[in-house]
Structures are given as C-alpha cells and as structure tokens.
Amino acid sequence: MSLIEVRGLGKTYYRGGEELRVLRDLDLDVDAGQFLAFMGPSGSGKTTLLNLLGGLDVPSEGSITVAGDELTAMSTGKLTAWRARHVGFVFQMYNLIPVLTAFENVELPLLLTRLARAERRRHVELALDVVGLGDRMDHLPRQLSGGQEQRVGIARAIVADPTFLLCDEPTGDLDRKSADEIIDLLDRLVREHGKTVLMVTHDPLAAKRAHLIRHLDKGALVDE
C-alpha cells in the first residue's frame, strides 16, 4: 500500500460566475521514502496539488488518503490537527519571521504541541544540526544568506518529524550553488532519514535529483 493514494482528484474554482477547473481526474501513488518532483508550466495546477495533499485546501471531487487517513472525510478541526502532525512545508520565500532567531523560527511548530520546554529545545537543536546550522541558531534571518534561510525553513519543516515534506519551489529564489546545496539536503533527508519529499520545481537540474518526475499539464498528470 502506498503512503499517499490519490484517486479521481479534481479542483474547481469559481470567479465571478466563471468556472476554472485547475485539476481534473488525477490519480497518484507515492511510496514512503520517495523523492518525487512535479514539473509543468505556470498554471498547470502544481501548487494547487501540493495544497490539497497538505490539507490546506479541499478537493472538489475525488479522494486523498495518507497512511490510511482519508483527508476528504475529515472535519476542519481534525484536518488542522492532522496537518500539524503529518506535513512539513518548505516555501520558495522561506516565510521566516524577521524578529525571531533561527532557533525561535524552528521552534514555532512545537509551540502547538504538549512538549516541555527542554524537549522542544532538544528537537530544535537536532533539526538545526541536521541542516548544518547548529552554530547559527541565535542568528536573525537578516544575518543569514538565502541558502541558510532556506535551511532554517527546512529545519522548521522537519522539527516535528512529519510523515512527508511538501516543497514548493524550494530553490526558486536561490543561486545555483545554494540551490544545489538545498537539493543535496533534501536528498539526504530521504536517503539517511527516510523522509518522503514531494517537490514542485521549474528547475530541471533540481528535478533530476528526484527518484521520479511527474509532469502536470492543464490540470492533468501526463507521461514524461
């Protein structure tokens, strides 16, 4: 059984009475420990798909099942709790809070848990060590390079030990060297830590590092 099973997934938005069908009749299987890249032109539905897989949005039709949990059957409250437990998000623009240190940014997801302060600190220090920033935990975002900021973002995504990571253009705002370092890190999370990574990217060099590349066109998955 796959970790993630998507069947007949569709998403339609309505704007001013106009129907905009973003995804249509999409089937997808992702195994645990897989590194999957989604590519496709702008407007093909890549980010919408990630939002649905992460429980940030709900489909118009079809089903999404993760580790036996069917997202489409959950209430809003249960979906919020499920998302906090199972999904780590990595964004193109890092989404760090400027007035918080690297440590404090990474700690944020744990503030919603019942972990004691000392246990939270242990988790945060471990996550920052994994991304190679154990010596930068007291730095503010403005004191870090773009690549280091994205590493903080990844540490924040993994600090609660989620079931899988959703990465939306994680190298899109970085130079080539920093982009390669981020992809190396994601690859290491898969190989050494058993993480499952789903990544949207326009970067063919980044996509080549994935185990599998799936292409989206006009809301449908097409063969490579």
Would you say residue 7 lies in a domain? no
Would you say residue 54 lies in a domain? yes
Instruction: State pLDDT tens for residues 19-63.
Output: 889 999 999 999 999 999 999 998 899 999 999 999 999 999 999
Would you say residue 93 lies in a domain? yes
Structurally, how many domains does the chain consist of? Answer: 1
pLDDT tens for the chain, 224 residues long, are 799 999 999 999 988 888 889 999 999 999 999 999 999 998 899 999 999 999 999 999 999 999 899 998 899 999 998 998 899 999 999 999 999 999 999 999 999 888 999 999 999 999 999 999 999 999 999 999 999 999 999 999 999 999 999 999 999 999 999 999 999 999 999 999 999 999 999 999 999 999 999 999 988 998 65
Structural domain harbouring 157: 32-58+79-222
Looking at residue 43, what is its pLDDT? 86
Contact 7, 70 (CB under 8 A): no
Structure tokens, 65: 């099942």
Would you say residue 12 lies in a domain? no
Would you say residue 26 lies in a domain? no
Give the CATH number for residue 160.
Answer: 3.40.50.300
Looking at residue 191, what is its pLDDT? 95
Structure tokens, 175: 């130079």
Would you say residue 194 lies in a domain? yes
Helices vs strands, H then E, count in the chain: 7, 10
Would you say residue 10 lies in a domain? no
